[in-house]
């Protein structure tokens, strides 16, 4: 059957079954053209020629005030969210099993509920009685939070629509089951469909939705990557099993800075906020020892001081070991190559171990100079003064490059009692009272002055 042609006037959008030189509706000449379908192909495989309704459009400029954020009272959580919970937002929280995702979200639910938000907590992994046991252990048994245990997404959405909450927590997205998708819960198609339905529900109904996501052995959130694109905010809960510190890191945030962190300490009464993480990370640091260097870093908008620990020892194996915890192993290999090629200090035949104390992960390149200082301190068996902090980026030529937010790094170091900062010469931050800045152009000058070698 031949496709029936349709003609439309470009001046007034009136349709006509045939072409004409003049539009009968508005009288415009040579304005009628053949109407093309929305997409090519049959309607069963594409959108086809059927027209839909028009989308409501508004101007970019508006006098409307942005929706108010809700402050939970947990300063570290509010900081990571960008200043509080935004209405109609979709938030994805991922982390290793047992790291404390359900614990911190139950505490957050109780805090938001105490601020007046109607909150519903839906668990797909535990029974309601088990969630109550955790709440009792955390001292939250009187919090005005509604609990539910269900995995059928249709039932969950029906309940949320009837209850009209302002915040819904879904624990977890991998356990949700969409009855229109023929696959097992946790599969790629199920996770994608469930995330799409919950995110759309959040936008349509004005409900803030927090989704818990499982992670793979590589640390990525399980399921399709498109889930992270759907939601407004992606948070990762990090931490080492042997340490009590937990880091809540924002890797995506449409309403605030990305790479912001919140620091918590795992205790018997749940997760407690750490107001001054720098002091806590350095609390167990003793007298100066070879291989120990304090790095003044920036995580999001806050300065954080952490300790790099290095150990260099003769290797009994033909292939020396390079072991890194809390930093990028490929960047360590680059620093070792620069030290050998540009400064003439070899590490061949030596095992190298590098650790960031406290279980925190450092990602910024400003830690290059601190790592190089720790490696040289361990190799030469010469400790740096206890009151010294180090930061700076190293280029492949051996030059030291300036880093961002130098003034904030120096102020944090001075606040914690440090009196000397080793930094690149290109950093032109004003001097901080009571703190001496040692500036160097390249790695050779730094090594020659501090260690007398190279």
pLDDT for 332-381, tens place per residue?
999 999 999 999 999 999 999 999 987 788 989 999 999 999 999 999 99
* CB atoms closer than 10 angstroms to residue 213: 26
DSSP 8-state code for residue 342: I
The rounded distance, in Å, linking the Cα atoms of 194 and 58 is 29
219 marked as binding residue? no
Q: With 0-12 CB in 10 A as exposed, 13-18 as middle and 19+ as buried, what is 324?
A: middle
Distance CA 444, CA 372 (A): 11
Tokens (6 digits) for 423: 């930094």
Cis peptide preceding 12, ω within 30 of 0: no
99 annotated ligand-binding residue = yes
* Domain boundaries along the sequence of the chain: 1-37, 75-275, 280-451
Number of Cβ within a 10 Å radius of residue 409: 26
Give the model's confidence band at 67: pLDDT under 50 very low, under 70 low, under 90 confident, else very high.
confident
Q: What is the pLDDT of residue 11?
A: 82
Rg (CA), the chain: 29
For 147-156, 365-374, 422-431, 440-449, which range has the lowest pLDDT when averaged over its residues?
A: 422-431
Q: Could you report the per-residue pLDDT of 75-129, keeping only the tens digit for each?
A: 999 999 999 999 999 999 998 888 889 999 999 999 999 999 999 999 999 999 9
Could you report how far apart the first and last alpha carbons of the chain are, in Å? 84
Annotation: CATH topology of 75-275 = Rossmann fold (3.40.50)
Distance CA 430, CA 222 (A): 46
Q: What is the pTM of this model?
A: 0.79
With b for 16 or more beta-carbon neighbours within 10 A and e for fewer, the 293-307 pattern comes to bbbbbbbbebbbbbb
Do 75-275 and 280-451 share a fold? no
Q: How far apart are CA 279 and CA 47, in angstroms?
A: 59
* Alpha-carbon span 361 to 251, nearest angstrom: 13
- CA pair distance 262, 5, nearest whole angstrom: 61
Q: State the greatest distance between any 2 C-alpha atoms of the chain, in Å, as a whole number.
A: 93
The predicted model gives 303-331 an average pLDDT of 93
Percentage with pLDDT > 90 across the chain = 57
Q: Is the pLDDT of residue 62 over 60?
A: yes
Q: Which pair of structure tokens corresponds to residue 169?
A: 């927590």
CA distance 438 to 311: 25
What per-residue confidence (pLDDT) applies to 454? 46
pLDDT of residue 349: 92
Q: Binding residue per annotation — 100?
A: yes
**Run of H or E residues at 113:** helix 101-114
The mean per-residue pLDDT over the stretch 228-254 comes to 88
The single-letter DSSP state of residue 282 is T
From edge to edge, which strands make up the β-sheet containing 420-424?
A: 322-325, 350-356, 302-314, 292-299, 388-390, 420-424, 436-440
The confidence band for 66, taking pLDDT boundaries of 50, 70 and 90, is confident
Q: Which CATH class is domain 280-451?
A: alpha beta
Cβ-based neighbours of 194, under 8 Å, separated by 6 or more: 153, 173, 176, 177, 178
Q: What is the pLDDT of residue 1?
A: 43
Using a pLDDT cut of 70, give the percent of the chain over it: 93
Edge-to-edge, what's the strand order for the sheet holding 15-16?
A: 15-16, 7-9, 32-34
Is the distance from CB of 10 to CB of 34 less than 8 angstroms?
no
pLDDT band at 136 (very low <50, low <70, confident <90, very high): very high
Six-digit token string for 207: 């409900």
SS3 sequence of 90-105: EEEEEECCCCCHHHHH
pLDDT at 219: 73
Q: What is the mean pLDDT of residues 320-328?
A: 93
Beta-bridge partner residues of 273: 264
Confirm or deny that 97 is annotated as ligand binding: yes
95 is in an annotated binding site: yes
Structure-token pair, residue 302: 């806050």
C-alpha 434/C-alpha 34 separation (Å) is 78
Question: How high does pLDDT run on average in the chain?
Answer: 88
């Amino acid at each position: 059957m031949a496709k029936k042609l349709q003609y439309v006037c470009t001046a007034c959008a009136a349709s006509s079954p045939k072409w004409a030189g003049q539009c009968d509706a508005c009288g415009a000449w040579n304005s009628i053209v053949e109407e093309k379908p929305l997409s090519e192909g049959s309607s069963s495989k594409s959108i086809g020629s059927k027209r839909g309704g028009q989308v409501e459009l508004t101007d970019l400029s508006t006098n409307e005030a942005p929706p108010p954020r809700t402050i939970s009272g947990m300063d570290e959580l509010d900081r990571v969210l960008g200043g509080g919970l935004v209405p109609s937002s979709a938030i994805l929280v991922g982390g290793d099993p047992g790291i404390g995702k359900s614990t911190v979200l139950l505490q957050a639910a109780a805090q938001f509920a105490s601020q007046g938000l109607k909150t519903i907590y839906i668990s797909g992994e535990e029974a309601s009685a088990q969630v109550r046991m955790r709440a009792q252990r955390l001292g939250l048994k009187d919090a005005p939070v509604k609990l539910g245990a269900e995995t059928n997404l249709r039932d969950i959405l029906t309940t949320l629509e009837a209850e009209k909450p302002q915040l819904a927590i879904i624990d977890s997205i991998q356990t949700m089951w969409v009855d229109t998708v023929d696959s097992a819960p946790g599969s790629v198609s199920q996770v994608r469909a469930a995330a799409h339905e919950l995110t759309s529900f959040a936008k349509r109904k004005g409900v803030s939705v927090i989704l818990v996501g499982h992670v793979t052995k590589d640390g990525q959130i399980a399921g399709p990557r498109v889930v992270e694109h759907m939601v407004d905010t992606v948070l990762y809960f990090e931490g080492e099993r042997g340490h009590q510190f937990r880091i809540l890191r924002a890797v995506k945030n449409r309403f605030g800075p990305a790479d912001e962190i919140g620091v918590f300490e795992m205790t018997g009464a749940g997760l407690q906020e750490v107001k001054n993480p720098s002091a806590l990370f350095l609390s167990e640091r003793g007298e100066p020892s070879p291989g120990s260097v304090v790095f003044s870093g920036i995580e999001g908008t806050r300065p954080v001081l952490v300790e790099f620990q290095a150990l260099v020892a003769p290797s009994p194996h033909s292939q020396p070991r390079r072991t890194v915890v809390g930093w990028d192993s490929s960047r360590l290999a680059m620093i070792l190559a620069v030290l050998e090629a540009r400064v003439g200090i070899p590490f061949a035949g030596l095992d190298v171990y590098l650790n960031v104390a406290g279980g925190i992960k450092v990602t910024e390149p400003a830690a290059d100079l601190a790592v190089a200082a720790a490696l040289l301190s361990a190799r030469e068996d010469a400790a740096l003064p206890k009151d010294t902090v180090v930061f700076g980026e190293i280029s492949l030529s051996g030059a030291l490059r300036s880093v961002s937010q130098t003034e904030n790094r120096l102020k944090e170091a001075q606040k914690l009692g440090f009196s000397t900062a080793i930094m690149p010469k290109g950093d032109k931050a004003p001097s901080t009272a009571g703190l001496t800045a040692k500036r160097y152009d390249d790695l050779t000058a730094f090594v020659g002055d501090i260690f007398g070698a190279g």
